[in-house]
């Protein structure tokens, strides 16, 4: 476990937003103003914290704090929800002695309920008083909803002879299909980075990681990724070093993205769907998403069933251009389908042990071009249905 990036403090408290008594309100404060980046859900019903965070970052890409509550999404809550969100930033900002405009909000939980403002007023001073008493691991734990485990990824790299640290924290297990789940993430870095460069690095890293996962094909109203870079290490990243930082950032987000799928509600498998030989990358993505979203494919993987027919049927309805006889499907290294028909291998026997594992490689070659795409997808289990059938009750 590496050290947390310099110049950040953490606090978590139990505000009573959830039924069970556990930390459900989490705060990060940077000791100095940090360059801030944000990437948000593309769902047209955007939660109040998404709207407010967008406004704050558009006015000035600088932040001192991130505050996240679990238990209430504050989505589809109208003008009252917007007012309440801004009030929470006033409460946290006043308690911490920082401008409310430099506090970025995020929320997760049931859609439609108004925030419990009495509980916010009581919790904000306690949250500020707890700063420095918690770690980034505590923060990751406090923002969980149906998550089975906290999601943290750390990375160190050397720039200009000095160690730069990054840490990423995320939550998400269901309603996961970011298109930027209920997915929230915060990445902290103790280097200084220009706002335009930091936002560009984030957009690229999110596109290559969080935008390539699916649990259930649903994109949340609240999906948010924040990045704060405060310069506390004394290193300014620019020029050729930006690519190095971008690689480290992508690595952090990639590990978090894997954990989101690994922790998919009820999930037992992580399918790595790789499509190659498409006409272009867009058609490769269409194939990967059709396969990864297919309930029949997902249930087959849960049942450890090498059902190539479900995979081929999904490929065939994806809308991609190819000749059926050129398609090759391989599962966990065992070729199942070629020349328009199954191979003569005893793949049920060959795949009996590989399909017991968590990671399942699904490789699809279309033979139509150079386009390629990779998607992480979970399986679909009885527990997913049970969890979501009982979500509000």
At 116-140, the pLDDT tens digits run: 999 999 999 999 999 999 999 999 9
Q: Write the burial class of residue 325 (CB in 10 Å: 0-12 exposed, 13-18 middle, 19+ buried).
A: exposed
**179 pLDDT higher than 60:** no
pLDDT grade for 107, boundaries at 50, 70 and 90: very high
**301 pLDDT higher than 80:** yes
- The mean pLDDT of 371-376, rounded to a whole number, is 96
63: three-class secondary structure by DSSP? strand
pLDDT, one tens digit per residue, over 210-245 is: 889 887 655 678 889 999 999 999 999 999 999 999
Neighbours of 340 (CB within 10 A): 11
**198 pLDDT higher than 60:** yes
Beta strand spans in the chain (E):
8-13, 25-40, 62-72, 103-110, 151-159, 162-171, 184-189, 192-193, 213-214, 224-229, 236-237, 270-278, 328-331, 334-338, 341-342, 359-365, 371-378
pTM reported for the whole predicted model: 0.89
Percentage above 90 pLDDT, the chain: 79
The mean-pLDDT minimum among 113-127, 146-160, 258-272 falls in 258-272
234-263 core/surface letters (b: 16 or more CB in 10 A; e: else): ebebeeebbeebbebbbbbbbbbbbbbbbb
Assigned fold of 270-389: Ubiquitin-like (UB roll) (3.10.20)
**Backbone φ and ψ of 388, nearest 5°:** -85, -25
pLDDT, one tens digit per residue, over 6-62 is: 999 999 999 998 777 789 999 999 999 999 999 998 888 899 999 999 999 999 999
At residue 176, the pLDDT reads 47
Structure tokens at 109: 């939980």
Q: Round to whole Å and give the CA distance between 292 and 272.
A: 9
Q: Round to whole Å and give the CA distance between 168 and 5.
A: 10
Q: Round to whole Å and give the CA distance between 75 and 117.
A: 15
Give the right CATH number for 8-262 from 3.30.360.10, 3.40.50.9100, 3.60.70.12, 3.40.50.720.
3.60.70.12
At residue 311, the pLDDT reads 97
Question: From the candidates 182, 209, 219, 221, which is the catalytic residue?
Answer: 182
Q: Residue 135 catalytic?
A: no
At residue 173, the pLDDT reads 58
**324 pLDDT higher than 60:** yes
**180 pLDDT higher than 60:** no
Domain boundaries, the chain: 8-262, 270-389
**88 pLDDT higher than 70:** yes
- The mean pLDDT of 358-368, rounded to a whole number, is 97
- What value does the mean pLDDT of the chain take? 91
Q: Are 221 and 47 in contact (CB under 8 A)?
A: yes
pLDDT grade for 175, boundaries at 50, 70 and 90: very low
**181 pLDDT higher than 50:** no
- The mean pLDDT of 339-358, rounded to a whole number, is 94
Start-to-end CA span in the chain (Å): 38
User: Are both 8-262 and 270-389 of the same fold?
Assistant: no
């Amino acid at each position: 476990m590496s050290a947390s990036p310099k110049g950040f403090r953490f606090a978590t408290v139990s505000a009573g937003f959830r039924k069970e008594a556990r930390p459900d309100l989490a705060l990060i404060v940077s000791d100095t103003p940090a360059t801030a980046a944000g990437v948000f859900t593309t769902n047209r019903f955007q939660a109040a914290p998404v709207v407010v965070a967008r406004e704050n970052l558009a006015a000035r890409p600088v932040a001192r704090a991130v505050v996240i509550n679990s238990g209430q999404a504050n989505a589809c809550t109208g003008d009252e929800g917007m007012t309440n969100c801004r009030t929470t930033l006033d409460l946290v900002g006043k308690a911490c002695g920082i401008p409310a405009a430099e506090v970025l909000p995020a929320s997760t939980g049931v859609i439609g309920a108004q925030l419990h403002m009495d509980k916010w007023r009581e919790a904000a001073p306690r949250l500020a008083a707890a700063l420095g008493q918690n770690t980034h691991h505590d923060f990751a734990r406090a923002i969980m909803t149906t998550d089975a485990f906290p999601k943290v990824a750390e990375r160190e790299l050397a720039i200009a002879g000095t160690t730069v640290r990054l840490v990423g924290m995320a939550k998400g297990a269901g309603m996961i299909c970011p298109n930027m789940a209920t997915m929230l993430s915060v990445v902290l870095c103790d280097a200084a980075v220009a706002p335009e460069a930091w936002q560009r690095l984030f957009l690229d890293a999110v596109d290559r990681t969080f935008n390539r996962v699916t649990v259930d094909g649903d994109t949340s109203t609240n999906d948010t990724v924040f990045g704060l870079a405060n310069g506390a290490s004394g290193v300014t990243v620019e020029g050729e070093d930006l690519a190095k930082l971008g690689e480290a950032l992508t690595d952090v987000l990639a590990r978090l993205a894997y954990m989101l799928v690994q922790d998919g509600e009820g999930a037992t498998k992580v399918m790595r769907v790789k499509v190659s030989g498409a006409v272009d990358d867009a058609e490769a993505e269409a194939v990967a998403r059709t396969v990864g979203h297919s309930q029949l494919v997902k249930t087959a993987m849960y049942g450890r069933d090498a059902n190539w027919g479900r995979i081929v049927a999904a490929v065939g309805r994806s809308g991609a251009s190819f000749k059926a006889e050129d398609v090759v499907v391989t599962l966990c290294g065992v070729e199942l389908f070629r020349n328009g028909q199954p191979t003569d291998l005893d793949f049920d026997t060959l795949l009996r042990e590989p399909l017991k594992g968590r990671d399942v490689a699904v490789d699809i070659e279309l033979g139509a071009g150079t386009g390629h795409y990779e998607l992480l997808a979970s399986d679909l289990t009885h527990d997913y249905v049970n969890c979501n059938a009982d979500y509000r009750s």
